[in-house]
Amino acid sequence: MPPTLYWRLFHLSPIIMLVGMAAGGLLIIRSILVWGVEDTDYPFGIDIPIAAVVLAVWGCVIAALLTPSRSVLARRDGVNESAALVWPLGRRFRVWMVIAAPVCGLLAAMTPFPIPVALGWDPEIPASLLIGLPFAIVLTVSSVALVWMILRGVMHGVEITPTHLVARGYFVTRRYPRDAIVSVNAVTLKWWPNLVLSTLMKSEVEHTLQLSLVGGKEPVLYAANSHEHDVEVGAEIVRAWRQGAE
């Protein structure tokens, strides 16, 4: 894939992920209604094959985004003429979040309902303000957070440009000027972010990247979490890139 096309798709990836989420959610819901629910009359419709085709095309585009050419990858010697992806950083959960997108579409479709149900908007279900409403709020917030994470799945990780390091984490993107970075280190997460991320990702999260900046700040890049070897390789790439500014 030409670098220009790749970068366009990369920056449009949240919309692409949304398409996969919508197609996957529709396909799962309609399949359950047509073939998984007994004693109901939900006919097979043209929307099912259309959703399947869209999901297949989406899968091809995502596969291309997850196998970038060398022209868009950061070099280990730090010599990059333009923006480049430090692919090892964040790799551990990047694929997982993409695979989860179609199933997450089902979750997104259910997100608007818990709070209204707890408030008693459904006349057949009594309101439950004491227990049901707090639970519904937590469930809704968690669902929205998960959907937001999945939308950022392809972009998750670290990018270096001639002037900045860009860390696209689970929820926000942070930019660090190249000349403000003093050192780069592979570190083990402290117990509380380890616990939060491990619970969120349903898998042990231990290693990531930490920067030391001019002024004494030492931000931890949760966008960079991966296996220890990946983080070490990523740190080497970022160090070489940083030294190129000296």
Residue 19 φ then ψ, to 5°: -60, -45
The encoded tokens of residue 193 equal: 């972010």
- Whole-angstrom distance, CA of residue 2 vs CA of residue 223: 26
- Whole-angstrom distance, CA of residue 196 vs CA of residue 212: 23
Residue 14's CB is within 10 A of a number of other CB atoms, namely 14
In the three-class reduction of DSSP (H, G, I as helix; E, B as strand; rest coil), residue 175 is classed as strand
Which pairing describes strands 220-226 and 84-86: parallel, antiparallel, or unpaired? unpaired
In this predicted structure, what is the pLDDT of residue 199? Answer: 62
The encoded tokens of residue 220 equal: 């931890």
The encoded tokens of residue 166 equal: 């860009």
Low-confidence spans in the chain with pLDDT less than 70: 38-40, 191-205, 245-246
In this predicted structure, what is the pLDDT of residue 246? Answer: 56
In this predicted structure, what is the pLDDT of residue 143? Answer: 85
Q: pTM to 2 decimals?
A: 0.83
- Whole-angstrom distance, CA of residue 83 vs CA of residue 162: 7
Q: Please report which helix (H) or strand (E) contains residue 194, including its range.
A: helix 191-201
